[in-house]
Amino acid sequence: MAIIKMDGITKIYRTKDIETVALENVNLEVEKGEFISVMGPSGCGKSTMLNVMGLLDTPTEGQVLINNTLTSNMKDGEMAEFRNRTLGFIFQSFHLINSLSVLDNVELPLLYRKSSSSERTKRAKEVLEKVGLSHRMKHYPSQLSGGQCQRVAIARALIGNPQIILADEPTGNLDSKMGTEIIDLLFDLNKEGTTIVMVTHDEHIARTTERIIRFFDGRRIE
Ligand SMILES: Nc1ncnc2c1ncn2[C@@H]1O[C@H](COP(=O)(O)OP(=O)(O)OP(=O)(O)O)[C@@H](O)[C@H]1O
Ligand SMILES: [Mg+2]
């Protein structure tokens, strides 16, 4: 069964007099449990595709179905709730909050849910354990290495126990050793059943995943 289905997705950005077609009639199905890579030159629409897939951005045309649920019919609050339960995001630049400790950064997504503070902390400790960072809970992002920051971001993505992880160049800011650690971690999560869609510029990393989707000028190419 396709866990994600993008059907005729077009995304056009309009600013004053410039119109950019970031995605043009993109069709894509991701099967439950798959680990796929998304590749293509800078500006070809990879991040746009991931943001539309992850319901962070709305398409100009077309439909996104997740678990056979048509997402365009959802109201804003409903969509935020659905996204929070189903999807986890990892970004190239980690997107951590520097004034919060590692533990607080990881707990953040649960603040929007009805869970008690002790439940949140318990769950945050579990996911930090999973990414091998229990011993850095009280640290702040500025006190961590790049690879450690990305592992905190992964723990934050995992705290809601998402079925799907969307990662936009998760190793883009890391040296190859740290990059390999992050990819290994993603493979472990995939083995446990998490569906993963990862944008990468690294052909070598992409080849280790099940399938590579390629884009050029907003279109999927073979
Ligand atoms: N908010 C925006 N407003 C206007 N144009 C945008 C916006 N976001 C992206 N674009 C344009 O859409 C196109 C696709 O951008 P996107 O960020 O998806 O590319 P990308 O493949 O992720 O590139 P990179 O590899 O550099 O991250 C680009 O031409 C970009 O300039
Ligand atoms: Mg991008």
The CA distance from 85 to 3, in Å, is 14
The CA distance from 91 to 161, in Å, is 18
Give the per-residue SS3 of the chain: CEEEEEEEEEEEEEECCEEEEEEEEEEEEEECCCEEEEECCCCCCHHHHHHHHCCCCCCCEEEEEECCEEHHHCCHHHHHHHHHHHEEEEECCCCCCCCCCHHHHHHHHHHHCCCCHHHHHHHHHHHHHHCCCHHHCCCCHHHCCHHHHHHHHHHHHHCCCCCEEEEECCCCCCCHHHHHHHHHHHHHHHHCCCEEEEECCCHHHHHCCCEEEEEECCEEEC
Residue 113, CB-side half-sphere exposure with 13 Å CA sphere: 18
Q: How far is the CA of 47 from the centre of ligand 2 (A)?
A: 4
For atom 30 of ligand 1, the residue with the nearest CA is: 43
Mutational pocket test of ligand 1: of 47, 166, 221, the residue with most ligand atoms within 8 Å of the beta carbon:
47
Asked if residue 45 has its Cβ within 6 Å of ligand 1, the reply is yes
Question: Of the bound ligands, which one is closest to the alpha carbon of residue 42?
Answer: 1
What is the token pair recorded at 164?
Answer: 């799907």
Q: How far is the CA of 113 from the centre of ligand 1 (A)?
A: 32
pLDDT of residue 1: 81
pLDDT of residue 85: 87
pLDDT of residue 112: 76
Asked if residue 216 has its Cβ within 6 Å of ligand 1, the reply is no
Q: How far is the CA of 46 from the centre of ligand 2 (A)?
A: 6
Asked if residue 200 has its Cβ within 6 Å of ligand 1, the reply is no
pLDDT of residue 191: 97
Cα distances from 172 to residues 21, 140, 204, 208, in angstroms, run: 25, 21, 13, 16
Task: Give 10-residue mean pLDDT values along the chain (222 residues).
Answer: 96 94 98 98 97 95 95 88 91 94 95 86 95 95 95 94 95 90 94 97 95 98 88
Asked if residue 117 has its Cβ within 6 Å of ligand 1, the reply is no
